[in-house]
A and B are shown apart, each in its own frame.
Chain A
């Protein structure tokens, strides 16, 4: 294997048979190139698929009250189901351990004013857990905390665009913002990857909002995230359990669809995972197919190459080449060509993927990249199978009887 003379002999043979070298190299380069690009595009597809799910935590469950659609237990239909703080605590105590984070939500619209600037914004009253459920990123300051909730402080957290709209170049942190005639202190500014609307929101403590705007304990919604240790199916069961228990608590008919709505992303995740699995499977099949055709190509070229060299190999045998040295020569040559050509295909493929970059975003292909390990493994596989594919013709070459090879045309 490491015989310098043999390598010299092989380099000579390669250098002087450029067409043969080019043909076998080309097949391999093309195989690896296509494999790399397909895999990259497939990964790009996956990337764009995944980014559409990262805005919110994926393990969230939204619970909302609506109006009953049927009479039940002496209640008339069209009764409004209104959640209150007590229901939020009911959920928290009842499902302790299954819940990771939980927050109530109260929605309002508020007119916010600062100096000469004003604007209407959505106001959400929440607790400290909301930050984690929404995956809110703080640009500066802090989020609503437990003290804000319990002490009903007039602290607010505003979105990046609220700050931009109202404070212009100024730093909003610590400034007083007038919302519906009440003065609030800005304690934090956040950003959100969910889009512009998500950054035009004002957050405050839900107890503050209840105290200031209605003096009641009403809640519009309960958002929670379940424990990640749960499987998707367990999560689906969990959300059904919540729905069932709350229906019982509010005397709602078990088959009433509109009174209490529990929406979980677990179902969506299940579907997404199925689609992802499908994409993976397709990429896998295409990849394997490309590799197989590459191997077949190498096998063909090797057969052709050996055929073309029949006479030469016969001469070598007549001059004293052992069958083993013939096999070794043919295989070493093919491995050398496959490795170099595979590397060229790999580099070319990665280069093309780099060029594509995010230009195909509108076709749902985002940041197409390949795991170098996979490509190296693919190249190795190709070399290995190329070796196997080359071994058969090489062995046949070694068995060529010199008299047959040397027979005059």
Chain B
């Protein structure tokens, strides 16, 4: 599903160049649930941004679902993001003037789906995350956990190949975090490929594989026995 070879990325900081990713080789098969761990500055967010086509690598190759992701202009990147990827952010990033339902329907709008279909599909994903009765509420009327579940529903709405979650539980208390992880595990169980960036070991343990980044290189990549979040909920 994801094939990365010898990926490099550096940032220009004034006269200094900061080498963030120093040759990453990494691949993810369909249906995996991978945790990307590392302390801040290890390059994990940069890696996720490149995977999410939000940033471009300086060198190396990136193939997503057999499509080489290379020299993308903004328009193409936008289309690929819409087709291939669903994003979940630490700070939810819901549009504050849109209701939960409208937020979930937004990726479908950019897929040029008809309004009726958008609403129906968005509603079904809201049901899936257990928030059907909150469809007409604004984000400001939802709790943190509910917001993140709306965000997950939105990420799923476009039926992407890969779900990218950047610290999805970073802004939540532990009970809510486990609820969200339970949801993510459930989605993974249905076969969706998911990458989770986190620095919390207990969250990482709920994935099936942990990739450890340090100073721009992968120092550890191991499969783990998945801890089910449902036992904590």
Contacts and interface: CB of A to CB of B under 8 A. Distances in A.
Given A319-B110, A402-B54, A403-B55, A16 B97 contact: yes
Contacts of B78: 317, 320-323
B95 to A, nearest CB: 5
A320 B79 contact: yes
A409 interface: yes
Contacts of A401: 54-55
B75 A320 contact: no
Contacts of B81: 317-320
B143 interface: no
A325 B110 contact: yes
A239 B87 CA distance: 88
Given A316-B106, A401-B54, A322 B154 contact: no
Contacts of A319: 81-82, 87, 106-107, 110, 154, 158
Contacts of A408: 89-91
Interface of A: 5, 8-9, 12-13, 16-17, 311-312, 314-325, 398-399, 401-403, 406, 408-409
Given A322-B74, A403-B55, A408-B90, 9 more contacts: A5-B115, A12-B102, A16-B98, A319-B81, A319-B107, A320-B79, A320-B83, A320-B107, A323-B75
Contacts of A316: 95, 106, 110
B97 A17 contact: yes
Contacts, number: 72
Interface string B57-89: 000000000000000001100110111000101
Contacts of B111: 320
A235 B79 CA distance: 75
Nearest to A402: B54
A324 B79 CA distance: 12
What class of interface size applies to chain B in its complex with A? 20 to 34
Given A5-B115, A320-B79, A401-B55, A406 B109 contact: no
Contact of B89 (A12, A323, A406): A406
* Closest CB pairs A-B (n = 7): A320-B82, A16-B97, A320-B110, A322-B78, A403-B54, A322-B75, A319-B107
B132 to A, nearest CB: 21
B207 to A, nearest CB: 22
Most chain B C-beta atoms within 10 Å of own C-beta, residue among A8, A17, A323, A408: A408
A406 B97 contact: no
A5 B96 CA distance: 20
Interface string B109-126: 111000100000000000
A251 to B, nearest CB: 93
B226 interface: no
Contact of A403 (B49, B82, B98, B115): B49
